[in-house]
A and B are shown apart, each in its own frame.
Chain A
Amino acid sequence: MTAFEETLARMTTPEVPQLKHQALLADAISRGKSKSALSFWWMSIPLYVIAMLFMKSAYVRDSTLRSNLHEFFTRERYVAPLLFVVAPVILILINAASIRRIHFLSGSPGPATLLRIAWSNVAVIIVSATILIIYFL
Chain B
Amino acid sequence: MNLRWFRRSGIVFVPTSIPGWLILAAGVAFCIYAFIDADSRSHSVSDTLMNFVFELLIAGAAYSLVAYLTGGSGRGRRETDGR
Listed in ascending order, the chain A residues whose CB lies under 8 Å from chain B are: 23, 27, 30-31, 33-35, 37-38, 40-42, 44-45, 48-49, 52
Instruction: Give the docked Cα–Cα distance between A46 and B49 (Å).
Output: 17
B58's closest neighbor in chain A, by CB? A45
- Contacts known (A30-B74, A30-B77, A34-B74); A44 close to B61, Cβ less than 8 A: yes
Listed in ascending order, the chain B residues whose CB lies under 8 Å from chain A are: 8, 10-13, 50, 53-54, 57-58, 60-61, 63-65, 68, 72-75, 77-78, 83
* CB pair A38 B64 closer than 8 Å: yes
B69's closest neighbor in chain A, by CB? A38
**Residues on B with beta carbons closer than 8 Å to the beta carbon of A27:** 74, 77-78
A sample of 14 cross-chain residue pairs with beta-carbon separation below 8 angstroms, ordered by A number, consists of A23-B78, A27-B77, A33-B8, A35-B68, A37-B11, A37-B13, A38-B65, A38-B68, A41-B64, A41-B65, A42-B61, A44-B60, A45-B58, A48-B53
